[in-house]
Structure 1
Amino acid sequence: MTDNITDIDTLIIGAGQAGIAMSEHLTSQEVPHLILEKKRIAEAWRSGRWDSLVANGPAWHDRFPGMNFPQKDQNIFVPKEEVADYFNAYVEKFNLPVQTGVEVLRVNRNLGTSGFTVETSQGTFNTQRIVSATGPFQIPVIPAIAPDIADLYQIHSAKYRNPEQLPEGGVLVIGAGSSGVQIADELQRAGKKVYLSVGPHDRPPRHYRGRDFVWWLGVLGLWDTAATEPGKEHVTIAVSGAHGGTTIDFRELAQQGLNLVGRTESFDNGVVRFRDDLTANIYAGDDNYLSLLDQADQYIERNGLDFPEEPQAREFLADPECMTNPILELDLKQSGITTIIWATGYATDYSWLKVDAFDENNQPKHHRGISTEPGVYFLGLPWLSRRGSSFIWGVWHDAKYIADQILIQRQYQQYNNEV
């Protein structure tokens, strides 16, 4: 820490996709600002995910409007390292002001004057505005039911890298969103005996009638859904760009050799118990899948489009035995399970932000990222303004809205200073 205080109009905390998008818009509006990043640009893409991860959307879609991925084929699903390279190149192209290796320790509102004092590992800043672009994936969450068994290897999906890091033996993967399904599939293909605990989920088709599901969500207006449906706040999306992009089919995974079980309920003396809800969860995912096919068919007919028929998309494999005769408990040792991977999501950490912008559960209070604390903004959170808010292209549009609000506030401040 130094005694010097740097004055800057707006500070953006975090140089991931949200912070970079925010900086681009502020740069175009000539708002003096700085991005502070405690690690590297787009660090989560490099070190916060497993080795084989690719983007869940094709290159033509999962990007910012100002720059394509360098690949000739824009339909590919870009590997994670190349996604990080893309954001680094974006920073260079638009000459965005990023300072890496700077950790924000504390933010306090100034007393008797406007703005905030920001204490960092590299000095103190005085700023009029704070944009928290730290995203939703900050603290990996492992539920309290996790067993305390000395010889059982347990990690969160954030720490998983590849099959070689795991000990010999079977694996229980808990959580069947995009991460859990892809990790379970990779481990099974690597020769591991894998159990996958499946909860409620949406299951869109990867492709249908010649178009990727991201295109369908776009033309159907589903990316712009403005709020979550009641009861679906924690429903995950089972979708993957792995293997060139395929629809997640739990029946096919079971046929492939994955052992599917319901939601994990408890552990007791080395025995794990599952809810009897596997079939219901898969059927509900089927309903979600078929609903999107129906909407796509209606769109094609309504617009007179000559898209290829795909009747086989509505054909399902027979229910596997794990659905007709579900496993409700497993003795971990007898089943040969030596590893549990918890694909159970993340919590946010705003302990550094000492402002009145949070509810009783320490979640941000905001409307489209505009906080209840004047001068504080949030960006990159799921459902910030719409369904697409936490996706690469969606965060860019959310950032534009927030940048416009910042510009409006700057104009009011400028008038006040001139009077």
Structure 2
Amino acid sequence: MTSANKTPHHSVIIIGGGQAGLSASYYLQQQGVDHLLLEKSALTNAWRTQRWDAFCLVTPNWQCQLPGYPYAGDDPHGFMKKDEIIAYLDGFIEMVNAPCRTGVTVQQVKPRAQGGYLVRTSDGEFTADQVIVASGGYQVPIIPRLAERVPTEIKQIHSEQYRNADLLPEGNVLVVGSGQSGAQIAEDLHLAGRKVFLAVGDAPRCARFYRGRDVVDWLDEMKYYDISVDKHPLREGVRDNTNHYLTGRDGGRDIDLRRFATEGMELFGLLTGLEGSNLQFAPDLASKLEAADAVYERINRSIDNYIEENAIDAPSGKHYQPVWKPEAEREQLDLRTAGITSIIWCIGFAPDFRYVEASVFDGHGHPVHHRGVTAQPGLYFLGLPWLHTWGSGRFSGIARDAEYLAEQIVSTARLAKAG
């Protein structure tokens, strides 16, 4: 760092203090690289403030493989609950001991004419030779403009604000979206005895257990989690996929929306409009349920093939048999007549990298990169879904990505010094 009369300078500035930023710090420290981590809130803040009370991991605990800090508990095939996850992260924070400043919002990252970057923050300016953007791709909660026309007496929140059923007004609840958060929040409300209306989206589903093991265990053994973006059949398109819905709750189980329907949950297709208090839905519920089941079956069949090809002794498998089918597609629902007093928007987040002034983004605001390395020298991204593999945005794969970027940073610094 320079003298007190000059702009503080670091070899690397890391933006974001989640598991990605902390993992980057871990490897930069191993390489002896001077750096500073900037976090606008508290370290690992999203895990503390954007999860509902009954939240738990959907991947088994053994997949918690943060660098230098693998899961060491006595339940590797269980699923940590919210408090246990926070305790795990607290231990990681203490172990890494990153050079960091919290409560500092980054307002601008801009390449300098003389090389390196200017980083403007709520607490002054910094300069850096290289920058890692590790703030994630889930910054802006998505709420459709349609929400502006919902009757004012109905409470509306985004999934990141949901905590439990008791904090919602009495009455029925509409959950919009059936990805991981939507499906699990709908289940949480359903188990709490709330009448739930669910607008189903395009998310696929996956079995929790199949042929005697957690499906995640099978897929890991099959090396699925080692497939890189450039080897995946969808290539970069896999980054647009919605996560499969299942749960680790109560030891782990499938989430079957059809079963919920037999128990009183009311399912609809894609929400498309609102006139007064009357919601409008696409007539595609049956096709969306069938598509989700098809993915479920396809994953199970891939496990069957693996077992057969490798002569593995495992319990027999079976095909899924739908327990419910919609008799007719319902395309309208009156909010007031249905007694709906709350809406929870579970349709995801959008990235917000507007503070990064570099020509490295596509038309949707996502950075263009290869394994986090952009075309702008010295600018990197870390912690994004499918940055390199399935585990890139998760506890299971962030170490591999962070180590790779640390090596790239050291190599770039050596080339600059030699030049």
Normalised to the residue count of structure 1, the TM-score between the two structures is 0.93
- How far residue 70 of structure 1 moved from its aligned partner, in angstroms, is 4.6
Task: List per-residue Cα deviations over 1:32-60 (Å, max 9, x = no partner).
Answer: 11211111111000001211111111111
* Amino acid of the structure 2 residue aligned with 1:287: A
CA contact (8 A) 2:261 2:324 kept: no
Output aligned runs, 1:87-98, within 5 Å: 87-98=89-100
CA contact (8 A) 1:138 1:348 kept: yes
State the distance in 2 between where 1:253 and 1:300 align.
31
* Amino acid of the structure 2 residue aligned with 1:195: F
Given the alignment of the two structures, is residue 127 of structure 1 paired with residue 128 of structure 2, yes or no? yes
Gaps of 5+ in 2: none
* Percent of residue pairs identical: 37
- Equivalence for 1:196: 198
- Equivalence for 1:412: 415
> Secondary structure in 2 aligned to 1:413?
helix
Given the alignment of the two structures, is residue 327 of structure 1 paired with residue 334 of structure 2, yes or no? no
- Equivalence for 1:205: 207
> Secondary structure in 2 aligned to 1:5?
coil
Q: Please, which of 245, 267, 277 is the counterpart of residue 274 of structure 2?
A: 267
- Equivalence for 2:256: 249
Gaps of 5+ in 1: none
Moved more, 37-46 or 229-238: 229-238
Moved more, 251-260 or 217-226: 217-226
- Equivalence for 2:361: 358
Task: List per-residue Cα deviations over 1:292-341 (Å, max 9, x = no partner).
Answer: 11111111121121122243xx2424324xx2223221011001011111
- How far residue 4 of structure 1 moved from its aligned partner, in angstroms, is 4.6
Given the alignment of the two structures, is residue 396 of structure 1 paired with residue 399 of structure 2, yes or no? yes
- Equivalence for 2:73: 71
Output aligned runs, 1:12-23, within 5 Å: 12-23=14-25
State the distance in 2 between where 1:245 and 1:265 align.
33
> Secondary structure in 2 aligned to 1:354?
coil
CA contact (8 A) 1:228 1:383 kept: no
State the distance in 2 between where 1:157 and 1:69 align.
27
Q: Give the number of aligned pairs.
A: 410
State the distance in 1 between where 2:330 and 2:363 align.
39
Moved more, 210-219 or 238-247: 210-219
- How far residue 65 of structure 1 moved from its aligned partner, in angstroms, is 4.9
* Amino acid of the structure 1 residue aligned with 2:365: N
- Equivalence for 1:136: 137
- Equivalence for 2:43: 41
- Equivalence for 2:234: 229
- How far residue 148 of structure 1 moved from its aligned partner, in angstroms, is 3.4
> Secondary structure in 2 aligned to 1:370?
coil
- Equivalence for 2:380: 377
CA contact (8 A) 1:198 1:262 kept: yes
- Equivalence for 1:298: 305
- Equivalence for 1:220: 222
State the distance in 2 between where 1:221 and 1:318 align.
32
* Amino acid of the structure 1 residue aligned with 2:393: S
- Equivalence for 1:316: 321
State the distance in 1 between where 2:58 and 2:233 align.
20
State the distance in 1 between where 2:31 and 2:67 align.
17
Moved more, 172-181 or 23-32: 23-32
State the distance in 2 between where 1:29 and 1:337 align.
56
